[in-house]
Amino acid sequence: MSFARKVWHLLVAIKDGLSLVFLLLFFGLLYMVLTARPNPSQVRDGALLLDLDGVVVEEKSVIDPISVLLSREAPVGEYQVRDLVRAINAAATDDRIKAVVLDLSRFTGGGQVHMQSIGEALDKVRAAKKPVLTYAVGYGDDAMMLAAHASEVWIDPMGGAMIAGPGGTHLYYGDLLKKLDVNAHVYKVGTYKSAVEPYFRNDMSPAARENYQSLYGALWEEWQANVKKARPQLKMDLVTKTPAEWVAQSNGDLAKAAQAGGLVDKLGSRVDFGERVAQIVGEDKWDDTPGSFAHTDLDPWLADHKPSTSGKTIGVVTIAGDIVDGDAGPGTAGGDRIADLLNDALNDNLSALVVRVDSPGGSVMASEEIRRAILRLKAQGIPVAVSMANVAASGGYWVSTPGDRIFAEPETVTGSIGIFAVIPTFENLAKRLGVGADGVRTTELSGQPDVIGGLSPAVNQILQGSIEDGYRRFLTRVAESRHMTTEQVDKIGQGRVWDGGTARQIGLVDQYGGIEDAIDWAAAKAKLKQGDWHVTYLGDDTNPYQSLVEKMMLGGKRSPSGSEDLFGLIAARQQVALGQANADLNRLLGTRGMQAYCLECPMDPRAQSQAKREGGVLAFVANLLLQ
């Protein structure tokens, strides 16, 4: 009994000790939550410093601490484009800010439409007679599009800049799936619906190539026009048409080549750059680190410039990322989550609704749920405007059809009106491995679809018929929205992807403009005068734990792996290729229904971090090939 009593006391002591530890952790976390929020008192005279160590997105995704721990990789930083534009616009008119500084050393992109929006905001700063300065070790296409709007572009002498232009290769798995004895049953409608080609081909079809060349050609022309307008001294032909000769003229010194090509203005280290900024805005009184200068960071600046909340409410719902079934997001467009946001807004007395779309599509069912929810709000008699960002294609166009007016930029990728589904079966692999499939059926559909025994002809016919019916529904929704016949929509449909400029010409888009133009239009249609309304982003409730999670998981600073120089940029592109392969395999093996998805659309810039966290499928395939 004495021994049992001692054991009992020991267990009680352990329990009490653990309780005390958890209490201390709880209050410690509570304190961190309360102190982690941005504080407007941190705003100081000097520069607005935008250290873009990550990607620009339409909607930030929530950090999942568990996935970060399992991946052992810090997630790439995300910056909402509307936050950056608001911050820069405020800097143009606030006397405390003497310059805007962008550190792009770890910037990984964000899409042409977002870059153009930020660039236009930077132009307002320069129009207010305030300098804009950028610094980076390596400049890629998106970083260069931002830097073109700067008054001084700096690069590290060990760095470099290179313009690649849109395009590249896609992966095709036709022969691989044959080697693995996997039958990919493809159901689709649309001559140009190339999202399924990787599963039965080993190269691009002529129709897909025609579409890619037209789309990327238009995007490239827009990129060049925008950058040359912002930076006339850039020698575009030299840099893009004869890149090897251009670099050779500087004996392989990429930084000097960038300066000779007009991409950058000055070469210097981070310290040199900081000293130059300090000459303009003053030295940092609180930091004597070499290269420091007086500045305010993004978060406290935004906290000091909160949007107005007076007057009537115009709601904005964001549909960003792949459209999927369920409650996924933010950062992924979970159909149920977005429909719930719109349903909750039914009682909010909105004066107008703006649907902001930055999505290549996805689940047909989720897209339809979102469309129906938008229509329920529209039935209240409020105007509905659609604002397209970088991408609003396939399912992204499906959810745009309720709009009274659709706004897009010339660089927007849209269209891709088509439907597909892929079902893999493994009857050949099972046979090779000595696995048989047999049983008793009462009808042709018993046990179907059978992924081990194979699909029956009746099931194949039914599934293809369902896809064709889905396509007809898509055509009908677009025809009703755009005041066309289904035959007219079919001619510009067939899965073909369009740039925003062409989309406007063929009637898929009403006018050029960004989200501010869409909001202004919606306010005018609601008969609201300027100053009598404010914008509310549905579901954009501040998460008090997000800053805490970032501090705990990232130490307050994100650090994407790899070098910041040109070779680091190349390595990042390799990670994006891995992300593409992983997404393709997940699309084949994952549990999905009918898909309205755009393969031709530019890949989400977050793919680099996703590739690192989701490399398991690729490793599995590699192991199969090595056996």
Residues annotated as catalytic (active site), given as ranges: 193, 394
Please name every residue paired with 99 in a beta bridge, in sequence order, or none if there are none.
47
Q: Are 344 and 82 in contact (CB under 8 A)?
A: no
Residue 379: DSSP 8-state: T
Cα–Cα distance between 563 and 158 in angstroms, integer? 11
Cα–Cα distance between 110 and 85 in angstroms, integer? 14
Q: Are 307 and 45 in contact (CB under 8 A)?
A: no
Cα–Cα distance between 288 and 278 in angstroms, integer? 12
CA-based nearest residue to 522, from 279, 361, 356, 330: 356
Neighbouring CB atoms inside 10 A of 567's CB total 13
Count the alpha carbons within 13 Å of 146 in the hemisphere toward its beta carbon.
Answer: 32
Backbone torsions φ then ψ of 170, nearest 5 degrees: -115, 155
Tell me the one-letter amino acid at 605: P
Cα–Cα distance between 497 and 493 in angstroms, integer? 8
Using CB atoms within 10 A of its CB, is residue 485 exposed (0-12), middle (13-18) or buried (19+)? exposed
488 Cα distance to chain centroid: 31
Task: Write out the H or E segment, with its range, that includes residue 213.
Answer: helix 206-230
Using CB atoms within 10 A of its CB, is residue 217 exposed (0-12), middle (13-18) or buried (19+)? middle
Residue 316 Cα distances to 392, 488, 620, angstroms = 16, 31, 42
Neighbouring CB atoms inside 10 A of 262's CB total 16
Q: Are 133 and 154 in contact (CB under 8 A)?
A: yes
